[in-house]
Structure 1
Amino acid sequence: MLNKNKAIVISKIRYRDNDLIAKCFTQQKGLVSYVIPGALKNTKGKSKAVYFQLLSQLQIEENFKANQSLQYIKEIKIDYIYRSVHTNVYKSSIAMFLAEILSTVLKEEEQNLQLYEYLEVTFKWLDYQEEFSNFHLLFLLNLTQYLGFYPENTNIEAPYFNLSNGLFETQKTNSYSISGGNLTLLKSLLGINFDELKTIKISSKQRQSFLAMLLLYFELHLGSFKKPKSLQVFNQVFN
């Protein structure tokens, strides 16, 4: 039975000689892997491959079969046409970096409408912005809310934040208790919306330090999480 769905492209790899496998986070089914036959074979096939740029937002018609690890797409079209995400070198670097993280942390093969809407809306926001150097920091921090380890902020005035338990604390309890600039920035980012990001000014060194802290936070709470391979290149772009 044919089914209409929406999808955001998270990763893609070559499959066999000329096919493509795209991992997508979908509105109705969560994480789904699709095989696109002949996508790398000829001009007609390559026109299919264009749809599967990282973070592309698609409308698809599929014949979903629950017992198959790879699904097939019957019809496809762009749901939202990016103006700059794939053409601006800085935004495309963000897209590559965040897509790699999402590919690691998204495991749900079931519907999660709130998470899908979060991805859909925030990537559209990024597409329209001229100031976006801190986008990835707030994006990752807010993502923890959907993954189950958003910081508990009932004691937000405390002088330490413990990365291992996600709590603000009155004293340093272990090596994962942070203070100083990263703590100040964390408190500034908690609870704000993306439009407020432009009010937060930090240096590239502070940005890299806070990102490293966020990635450690992910490692501590997600056993399978690995630092993105694109991290070094990403930091060079935003240096």
Structure 2
Amino acid sequence: MTKENDHTVHAISLRVVKYGETSLIAACYTQQYGLQSYMLKGILSNTRKKKISKSLFEPLTLLELQASKNSENRLGYIKEAKQAQAFHSIPFDITKKALVFFMAEVLHQVVREDQEPHPALFQFIKERILWLDHQNELGLFHIKMMLDLTRFIGFSPNLNLPEAPYFDLESGCMTPDKPLGLFLEDPLKSFWIQLLGTDFDKVGEIQLSRQFKNALLKSVISYYELHLQQFKAPKSTEVLNEIFKTL
């Protein structure tokens, strides 16, 4: 088997899966190649000196990898790994950690359906992670990010008729006629419009009750389920909702 030469890869860690007793397979979204899976051989072993720490592959860690890819299958091998930018608050803040676990689940489902490189999407994700690391008003971060993410993956809501009473989740359009399938009406419809038109830096100024945040998130997840064939509600949704009960 021939291997490509080592190359520098800019990556965002999405998830790891245990492989055998001592190894992991890491799914990373990369700037150059889209979604890539890498073998981390022996990273869980207690008997060998490890060059790479498992902690580097916490969800949404920004990474710089030296990796080689086996040209005969999709698994690559990482020779060296380091944080591209160290986090200041995410590892130490339970709310931020819950948000990155949730968004990592969302992103893994999104990018696995289109494995071509998408540098603009990579940059969007990177900027939002760094924003989260430096901000404190977090209550709508995940909802705003999911709505903005639709611009990159082909089903951004069409709001050409903002005064129409209904938003059809299946067509992604405003409509004056009540849809037969899933739809939004006020007040959820108006908050979708408000969030889509609000800069990320201003999202913290929008104050909503916990119950309404949950309803808003549920509506966005439903929208994803309708437009991405294999998308399912992230398993971490309930944990996230529980944490926000205390905020």
TM category, shorter = over 0.9
- Is this contact kept in 1: 2:24–2:41, CA < 8 A? yes
Instruction: Supply the distance in 2 between the matched residues of 1:191 and 1:114 (Cα, whole angstroms).
Output: 20
Instruction: Supply the distance in 2 between the matched residues of 1:60 and 1:156 (Cα, whole angstroms).
Output: 45
Instruction: Supply the distance in 1 between the matched residues of 2:240 and 2:159 (Cα, whole angstroms).
Output: 30
1:63 alignment counterpart: 68
1:220 alignment counterpart: 226
SS in 1 for 2:12: strand
Does the C-alpha gap of structure 1 residues 47 and 28 become closer, same or farther in structure 2, counting only changes over 3 Å? closer
Instruction: Supply the distance in 1 between the matched residues of 2:115 and 2:66 (Cα, whole angstroms).
Output: 18
- Is this contact kept in 2: 1:40–1:46, CA < 8 A? no
Q: Which runs of 4+ in 1 moved over 6 A?
A: none
Normalising by structure 1, we get a TM-score of 0.96
Normalising by structure 2, we get a TM-score of 0.93
Instruction: Identify the match of residue 14 of structure 1 among 18, 27, 33.
Output: 18
Q: 1:86, CA displacement in angstroms?
A: 1.9
Give 2:26's aligned amino acid. Answer: A
1:205 alignment counterpart: 211
1:5 alignment counterpart: 9
Does the C-alpha gap of structure 1 residues 96 and 158 become closer, same or farther in structure 2, counting only changes over 3 Å? same
The range that moved more, 136-145 or 67-76, is 67-76
Give 1:201's aligned amino acid. Answer: Q
Deviations 1:131-187 (A, max 9, x none): 111100100001111111010122122221000000011121223121022111101
1:88 alignment counterpart: 93
Percent of residue pairs identical: 33
Question: Is structure 2 residue 146 aligned with structure 1 residue 133?
Answer: no
The range that moved more, 175-184 or 71-80, is 175-184
Question: Is structure 2 residue 115 aligned with structure 1 residue 109?
Answer: yes
The range that moved more, 181-190 or 152-161, is 152-161
Deviations 1:78-103 (A, max 9, x none): 10111111210000001111111112
Q: 1:66, CA displacement in angstroms?
A: 3.9
SS in 1 for 2:91: coil
2:41 alignment counterpart: 37
SS in 2 for 1:86: helix
Instruction: Supply the distance in 1 between the matched residues of 2:224 and 2:143 (Cα, whole angstroms).
Output: 13
SS in 2 for 1:28: coil
Give 1:83's aligned amino acid. Answer: H
Alignment of 1:71-82 (within 5 A): 71-82=76-87
Instruction: Supply the distance in 2 between the matched residues of 1:172 and 1:67 (Cα, whole angstroms).
Output: 52
The range that moved more, 102-111 or 91-100, is 102-111
Does the C-alpha gap of structure 1 residues 146 and 66 become closer, same or farther in structure 2, counting only changes over 3 Å? farther
- Is this contact kept in 1: 2:11–2:30, CA < 8 A? yes
2:235 alignment counterpart: 229
Q: Which runs of 5+ in 2 are unaligned?
A: none
- Is this contact kept in 2: 1:163–1:220, CA < 8 A? yes
2:103 alignment counterpart: 98
- Is this contact kept in 2: 1:144–1:150, CA < 8 A? yes
SS in 1 for 2:160: coil
1:121 alignment counterpart: 127
Instruction: Supply the distance in 2 between the matched residues of 1:193 and 1:18 (Cα, whole angstroms).
Output: 44
Give 2:6's aligned amino acid. Answer: L
CA RMSD in angstroms, aligned pairs only: 1.4
